[in-house]
Amino acid sequence: MVDLIAGDMEFIRPAAEPFLQIPAESIDYAVIEKCPASGIPISVVPLNAGWSDLGAWDAVWKASYADEHGNVAYGDTILHDTNNSLVHATQRLVSLVGVSDLVVIETADAVLVACRHHSQNVKMIVHRLDQEHRQEKNLHRKVSRPWGWYDSIEEGDRFKVKRILVKPGESLSLQMHQHRAEHWIVVRGVAEVTNGDQVITLCENQSTYIPQGQIHRLSNPGAEPLEIIEVQSGSYLGEDDIVRFEDSYGRK
C-alpha cells in the first residue's frame, strides 16, 4: 500500500497488483473460518443486536423508515399507486406508477430497476459487465484524484466535456496527450497553466487551448478551490491516453 501526501490530507492509493491476487471470497470463508485451525485464539460470543450487513437493496429497504404504503424514497421522487418499493434518485426526477416490490436506483452512471425480492442478483449484472469488458464496472462518471476530482458530464463522437475541481495548492501532473486536444475554461478560482514553454495565470471566465501533443499542467496556486470546464476533442479520448513527465503523487 502506498501512502501519499496531498496538501494537508493523506491520500492512500492501494497497489493494484496485490489486490488482483486476492481471491474473491468473503472474510468469513477466507479468514474467520480458518482461524481455529491456525492456532490463533478466537471465540464466538452470541450478540442479539439486530445486525444487517445491508448486502442487498432489499436489506436497505428493510432497514429504512417506510411510509404508510411501505415505500422508501430518497431524492426527487413522485410515487403514485406504488407499494413496498425502494427508490433512490440522485440526478433527476424518478416517478413510479402502479407498481409494487420494486427497487429503482438512479445515479449519474446507470439506472437499476429490479424486483425487490431478487435485488441481490445485481451481482449477475456486474458479472455481465466484466464479461463484456464494459468500463462501468470500474470507472464512475465522477472520479476522485489526489489533487481533487473530475466529472465527465458529456461525451460523444470525438468529444468529451469534464468538470474539474483542483484543491488549493494542488497540481495535476506535467503531462501530454497523443490523441486529443483540450480547451480549459475557468469557472471559479485562479489557475496556473503550463502550456508548452509558457506559464500563464487565468482567472474566472478566461480560457486557454492545449494543442494535441503539447506538454501541459494545471495547478491551483490560490487558497480557494479551482473549478474549470475541460472540452476534449480528438480521435481517442480514453483515460489511458496520458504520458506523465512529473507528478507530485508518484504516479506513472
pLDDT in tens, 47-85: 888 777 788 999 999 999 999 999 999 999 999 999 999
Domain with 124 in it: 57-131
Contacts of 31 (CB under 8 A, 6+ apart): none
Domains of the chain: total: 2
Quickly list H helices, 9-108: 16-20, 27-30, 35-38, 57-63
Phi, psi of 17 (to 5 degrees): -60, -45
- For residue 33, being part of any structural domain is answered with no
Q: Given this model, what pLDDT does residue 196 score?
A: 96
Between vectors from CA 56 to CA 54 and to CA 59, what angle results, nearest 5°?
A: 55
Same domain for 160 and 117?
no
Q: Does a structural domain hold residue 29?
A: no
Mean of pLDDT values over 193-211: 97
- Residue ending a domain, among 78, 97, 131, is 131
pLDDT at position 37, please?
74
- What confidence score (pLDDT) does residue 11 get? 60
Residue 52 lies in a domain: no
How high is the pLDDT of residue 234?
97
In-domain check, residue 232: yes
**Neighbouring residues of 195: CB distance < 8 A, sequence distance ≥ 6:** 208, 210, 214, 216
Q: What are phi and psi of 84, to 5 degrees?
A: 50, 45
